[in-house]
Amino acid sequence: MTTPAVHIRDLWVTFNHVPILEDINLDIRPGSYVGILGPNGAGKSTLLKVILGLIPPSRGEVQVFGQSPRKLRQAGSLIGYLPQRPLNNPRFPVSALDVVLMGRFGRLGLGRRPGRRDKEIALMNLEKLGIRHLAHRLIGELSGGEQQRVFIARALALEPRLLVLDEPTIFLDACAQDDLYEMIHHLKEELELTVLVVSHNIGAVAAHVDDVVCLNRRIHVHEPPPIGRLALESTFGCSVEYLFHGEIPHRVVRRDE
């Protein structure tokens, strides 16, 4: 039997005795592209941070490629991560290449400087993202879409097997969002990655992913798209109407009672 990329059983996370995640059971197969959907405050980012080993579970079992997330985090390998706010100060005077090279430190360890091989890997990932020509531009001079590609290149510079993206299209327009999800799909295929992506854009995600996880403290559904209205109402906690363009869901709106 193939070891799941992510294996979670009976996961609970509580803060100040308040449950953030309840009874999470989830298996993500290697090589899959999974969208995690849910309203604000549903625990999506918390789930990612548990998988990354940044937040310990209150109870339950979590394994990534058969190992504990904390062990993988200490080793600085296997998981590439794009947080919601990947650079605290986007005007900080660093080039796109410098930002991508930051992703190599997980492999290098503290106190070691990137060498020629690290620079080659950084430039290769900028090329995969179609932005090698921006390598020496300051990160603050780039557009929102260009910056996101730089940050994804930084996550890939670690040479991960699992790529975790938290709201990667939050500052992008609709066309740029679709382009980014399609690019991530191509990277998954080319690099044989497993990809987890958190998003509010149901239509764009469902057009590209293999499976959708609807999360609101608990997992309400885990299945391939399209996802029906009842599952979305259960997840988002309100009456919704799911609009379809062909077989691909487009958007969710509140339904008049």
For 103-115, write each residue's pLDDT tens digit: 888 777 666 788 8
Lowest average pLDDT, out of 55-69, 129-143, 162-176, goes to 162-176
Bridge partners, 13 (sequence order): 21
Residue 184 belongs to a domain? no
Residue with tokens 């531009």: 137
Look up residue 52 and give its two tokens: 């990354």
With H, G, I as helix, E, B as strand and everything else as coil, classify residue 20: strand
- Give the pLDDT score at 174: 76
* Mean per-residue pLDDT, 205-222: 87
Q: What is the mean pLDDT of residues 39-53?
A: 92
Whether residue 246 is predicted with pLDDT greater than 60 in this model: the reply is no
pLDDT over 70, % of the chain: 84
The packing angle between helices 144-156 and 174-191, to 10°, is 20
Asked whether residue 61 is assigned to any structural domain, the reply reads no
- Residue 138, in any domain of the structure: yes
The first and second tokens of residue 33, run together, are 């592209």
Distance between CA atoms of 132 and 24, rounded to whole angstroms?
40
Domain assignment of residue 128, given as a range: 79-159
Specify the range with the lowest mean pLDDT, choosing from 15-19, 137-141, 181-185, 237-241: 237-241
Rounded Cα distance, 145 and 137, in Å: 14
Q: Cα–Cα distance between 232 and 241 in angstroms, integer?
A: 9
Is residue 147 one of the residues assigned to a domain? yes
CA-to-CA separations, 16 to 38, 49, 54, 70, 197, in angstroms, rounded: 22, 18, 17, 22, 27
pLDDT given at position 228: 63
CB 236 within 8 A of CB 217: no
Q: What is the pLDDT of residue 36?
A: 93
Band of residue 242 on the pLDDT scale cut at 50, 70, 90: very low
The answer to the question of residue 115 being in a domain is yes
**Residue 21 falls inside a structural domain:** no
Count how many domains the chain has: 1
- Greater pLDDT, 250 or 148: 148
- DSSP 8-state symbol, 169: T
| Residue 111 falls inside a structural domain | yes
Q: Roughly what angle, to the nearest 10 degrees, separates helices 144-156 and 116-128? A: 130
196 lies in a domain?
Answer: no
pLDDT at 243 over 50: no
Q: How far apart are CA 76 and CA 70, in angstroms?
A: 10
pLDDT over 50 (residue 58) = yes
